[in-house]
Chain A
Amino acid sequence: MSTFYFIAFLSIFFSLLVIFAKNPVHSVLYLILTFFTFTIHYILLNAQFLAVVNFIVYMGAIMVLFLFVMMLLNLNKETEPGKHYLAKLAGVIAGGCLLVTLVGSLKAYKVSAPVVLQDPGLGLVKNLGKVLFSEFLLPFEISSVLLLSAMVGAVLLAKKEPKATA
């Protein structure tokens, strides 16, 4: 339990650093650390497959792309767009509304009894695969089609328009 609290503290600490860091590249690096703490959470929950996939996909691929773009953009103080005070005000109001909603919805819940895992091997890759390919086959396949269509859409958007006849 103490491990959980320590890792949870680190998660929140690093995610706060993500938004407080001045330099966008530092922000991305803190975000990577945050994802790493998530991986540890998954391992603590005995979900090895999810942990490794989180590690590979989020830390190893998506965050590399984030870092890549941040480095290419070379953002710094001079290129930062000036923030209008109205925009800041809107940001504060929107954030406050979100906070109120979150606090309101969380207050409705009571502290749940500690969940006892029925099957400690639930998160292992074998069990996960069996559940995905039997019980949840249809949603699984549909989400894969969704991903495919998103990929095709992204390629279509990124493709250069054929030049108009000049």
Chain B
Amino acid sequence: MELLDIGIKFILIVVIFLISLVVAMYSTYAERKLAAFFQDRVGPNRAGPGGMFQPLADGMKMFMKEEIIPTQASGLLFIVGPSLAIMTACIGSAVIPWGQAITIGSRVIPLQVTDINVGILYIFGVVSLGVYGIMIGGWASNNKYSLLGAIRAASQNISYEISMGLSIIALLMVTGTLSLKEITEQQHGWHWNILRQPLGFIIFIVCAFAETNRSPFDLPECETELVGGYHTEYSSMKLGFYLFAEYINMFISSAVMATLYWGGYNYPGMDWMAAHVGPIIAPLIGVAVMFAKVFAFIFFFMWVRWTIPRFRYDQLMNLGWKTLIPLAILNIVLTGLFITFL
């Protein structure tokens, strides 16, 4: 009995891990295809039908390339950097509820690895840890461009973490719980948090762009100023890990946004579905809805990247400190007034 539970959890973890990796892999393909679409090109179309095997070819290339560790680099930390980046990217998915519990016979299988009662804070902690991979890698490369990239990443993450935290506080005032599972359940039947926290969501998504180092906030790897940023000295799969971590981060932050603000796995008419198609199919439709929302956000990330040019560094800091933080505080005050008087 106990062993079976552990087995189910293990399978769930492996499946989520594999899904994260596959989604990240095909995000690279989607990004290139979308970039091509936005720029009126064809995009990758050689490997397989419509270029479908392009990510596999890219991965193979990454593995086959020569492994270079600069002689002046600080040996162990040079390897720790990308490892930490990919590790922190992968552990964020542990608290996200992917769907309602599936009931098979008398056994209830929750589609969430673990429902800790500080779920949001856990995500927040993992996000704040993510910057270490970049900082350590950038510093260990012993290259001034890498170091500049690392320092930019650090200051950017610290600045945007504040407004992200403040926007989450406003959300918590509405939901009254830190558990992601409860937050999703509260949003059942059109009580989506986006309707109650529109400003908070805008602040959150801007901060999510900054935290994942996505354009227009990709200053840490700004190639026009810094050659390649923090991963200038990296080659082979270590570079691959950094690039991959960015896509996994994008996937996880999309999932977090869908869960916190857009109702997670909730969809209109889910009670009718649950009554009519049974306790196994209905939650799976919920999972599909969840993934549809996640993919919509990933598309949004890419859409923005190929539409909006990169910020200048002082503009980035101004936006973070002088616009987003006051807005987030205003949002908290407004939420407080709203709760008190309405």
A68's nearest neighbour on chain B, judged by CB, is B154
| A53 partner residues in chain B, CB cutoff 8 A | 121
**CA A65 to CA B157, docked complex, whole Å:** 11
CB distance from A164 to the nearest CB of B (A): 27
- Counting CB contacts under 8 A, is B204 at the interface? no
Nearest A residue to B136, CB-CB:
A29
Collect the chain B residues with CB atoms within 8 Å of residue A68's CB.
135, 151, 154-155, 158
Instruction: Say whether A60 contacts B125, CB under 8 Å.
Output: yes
Chain B, interface size category, equals 20 to 34
A124 to B119, CA, bound (A): 12
Residue numbers in B under 8 Å from A65 (CB-CB):
158
Decide if B129 is an interface residue (CB 8 Å cutoff). yes
Give the residues in chain B near A152, CB-CB below 8 Å: none
Which B residues lie within 8 Å of A71 (CB)? 135, 139, 147, 150-151
On whether the beta carbons of B158 and A64 are closer than 8 Å, the reply is: yes
Are B125 and A61 closer than 8 Å at their CB atoms? no
Residues of B within 8 Å of A64, CB to CB, are 128, 131-132, 135, 154, 157-158
Question: Are A72 and B128 also in contact (CB < 8 A) when A49-B118, A61-B161, A124-B117 are?
Answer: no
Q: How far is the CA of A53 from the CA of B128 in the complex (A)?
A: 11
Task: Report the interface size for chain A: residues with CB under 8 A from the other chain.
Answer: 21
Q: Any chain B CB within 8 A of the CB of A8?
A: no
User: Chain B residue with minimal CB distance to A55?
Assistant: B125
B125 and A52: CB pair below 8 A? yes
Contact B117 A56 (CB under 8 A): no
Q: Shortest Cβ distance from B154 into chain A, in angstroms?
A: 5
Q: B148-163 toward A: CB 8 Å interface, digit per residue (1/0)?
A: 0011001101100100
On whether the beta carbons of A59 and B128 are closer than 8 Å, the reply is: yes
With known contacts A48-B117, A64-B131, A56–B154 Cβ distance under 8 A: no
| Bound CA–CA A59/B122 (angstroms) | 13
- The yes or no answer to A122 lying at the interface (CB within 8 A) is no
Whether A32 is near chain B, meaning CB under 8 Å from some CB there, is yes
User: Which residues 25-78 of A sit at the B interface, judged by CB distance below 8 A?
Assistant: 25, 29, 32, 48-49, 52-53, 55-56, 59-61, 64-65, 67-68, 71-72
- Interface: B124 (CB within 8 A): yes
CA distance A71 to B144 in the complex (A): 11
Q: Is A125 positioned at the interface, with any CB of B under 8 Å from its CB?
A: yes
Residue from A32, A60, A61, A71 with most neighbouring chain B CB atoms (10 Å): A60
Are A52 and B128 CB-contacts (below 8 A) given A68-B154, A125-B178?
no
B57 in contact (CB, < 8 A)? no
Using A55-B129, A68-B158 as known contacts, list a sample of 11 further A-B pairs with CB atoms less than 8 Å apart, ordered by residue number in A.
Answer: A48-B116, A52-B124, A53-B121, A55-B125, A59-B125, A64-B157, A65-B158, A68-B154, A71-B139, A71-B147, A126-B117
A interface residues with partner B (beta carbon < 8 Å) = 25, 29, 32, 48-49, 52-53, 55-56, 59-61, 64-65, 67-68, 71-72, 124-126
Can you list 28 A-B contacts (CB < 8 A)?
Answer: A29-B77, A29-B136, A48-B116, A49-B118, A52-B124, A52-B125, A53-B121, A55-B125, A55-B128, A56-B125, A56-B128, A59-B128, A59-B129, A60-B124, A60-B128, A61-B128, A61-B161, A64-B128, A64-B131, A65-B158, A67-B135, A67-B154, A68-B151, A71-B139, A124-B117, A125-B117, A125-B178, A126-B117
